[in-house]
Amino acid sequence: QIEAGPAVSQRSLAREAGIALGLTNLLLRRLVREGLVKVVKLTPNRMMYCITPEGIAEKTRLSRRYVENSIKFYREARERIQRRFDVLSAGWASDDGSTVSEKRVVFYGAGEVAEIGYVCLQDTDLTLVGVVDESRSTSFFRMPVHPLRLLKGTHLDGQSFDRVIVMAFQDADRMAAKLCDRSVPAANVFLL
């Protein structure tokens, strides 16, 4: 925000970052002390903040680290999800123990993990027949996203499925409990 223009105040920075004005002041003083930002006094009560060359270099370093961490997260998540999908598929059997021709799954969650899962799903014999999410209403890879209230037992909005895959690494137990509240049998809930 400082780099965007000279007409930035501590108050506008605090508002933009969603933090307290006092914390903004503390952080700015730290950035100045570290040489990443400099302060130019315009009037006795008005200052201008400028990012220094060192600040630009640090911003570049942090941006690079963010991208590297994002790639690492994607790679690790993809491998983990693929392994879990392989486990799910290999352990799939019908009630009488015979081979199943179609393995119908529903994703519970339509966030980033689910998006990675969708990519992984393309290399499996699992068939995605629905997506449930409590906060997203836009489509998920051209598939409608249903509210949790439309899930009951082994049906989503009248369509049957075999397993619900909780598409989250965190809060998965809480999400599984919500599925239990919707009468989804515990044996039909699969965690990543």
CA distance 130 to 39: 54
Identify the CA nearest to 113 among candidates 44, 10, 191. Answer: 191
Residues 153, 176 contacting (CB under 8 angstroms): no
pTM: 0.75
pLDDT tens per residue across all 192 residues of the chain: 888 766 678 888 888 888 998 998 899 999 999 999 988 888 887 888 889 999 999 999 999 999 999 999 999 999 999 999 999 999 887 656 666 678 999 999 999 999 999 999 999 999 999 999 999 989 999 999 999 999 999 999 999 999 999 999 999 999 999 999 999 999 999 999
Q: Is 82 exposed, middle or buried (0-12, 13-18, 19+ CB in 10 A)?
A: middle
Instruction: Give SS3 for 63.
Output: helix
Give the sign of the dihedral formed by CA 128, CA 134, CA 137, CA 141. Answer: negative
Residues 166, 114 contacting (CB under 8 angstroms): no
